[in-house]
Amino acid sequence: MAARGHERCKNGSMKTEREVFELCDRIRELSIRWPQKGAKDTRVFRDLLPQKGAKDAKYSMKTESAIFKLCDQIREISFSLHRFLRHGHLEKVYENGLSHRLKKIGIKLEQQHPLQVRDEDGTILGDYVADPFGENCLIVELKACQTLANEHIAQLFGYLQACRIEHGLLINFGAQKLQIKKYALSDNK
């Protein structure tokens, strides 16, 4: 039972209402809206990704429009998978189904892909195993719960920042209606 004015997080730690609201405000600051169809923005994100020639430059540089096209394809496949399977299965079932369907149309989605977690100065702290990792530029975080919570969004942002990947999709197959949100890390403060 949580103390008055506190909420219990998934990991069991206690957060005050103020901390929860600050976290929500930070999430809102970092999130962006899904782009309009036909937008021709071709900016390349280089701020958080490894630079060419660097030792850890194994993640490809993609234009924003290419990443949004990939997100659209994953969203469409996720919707068709959710229509077929409905809600109520384990997360792994949806991960396997999404991977299988994307592989059929030629999109590379690696399951249980290890990503290096780095500190501010670039020191490797360990590995994070991404649910699926799409086309070497997009973390896809899958959930199978009743609804998405702020903790899920914070978890995705933590992965994006620690792994220095800019784009992420948060997909919840557990609700009656498919929930999907795209987030991008920005260097704007």
All structural domains of the chain, each given as residue ranges with its CATH number in brackets, are: 1-30 (no CATH), 61-189 (3.40.1350)
Specify the pLDDT at position 22.
66
Task: Pull the structure tokens for residue 146.
Answer: 């009743």
Count of CB atoms situated within 10 Å of the CB of 158? 12
Phi, psi of 53 (to 5 degrees): 90, -15
Specify the pLDDT at position 174.
95
pTM of the model: 0.67
117-132 in b/e form (b: 16+ CB < 10 A) is bbeeeeeeeeebebbb
Task: Pull the structure tokens for residue 55.
Answer: 């030792």
Distance CA 115, CA 2 (A): 35
Specify the pLDDT at position 104.
95
Over the chain (189 residues), what is each successive 10-residue block's mean pLDDT? 48 58 56 43 37 43 87 96 95 95 93 88 89 90 96 93 91 96 81
Bridge partners for 71 per DSSP: none
Bridge partners for 182 per DSSP: 169
Contact 48, 166 (CB under 8 A): yes
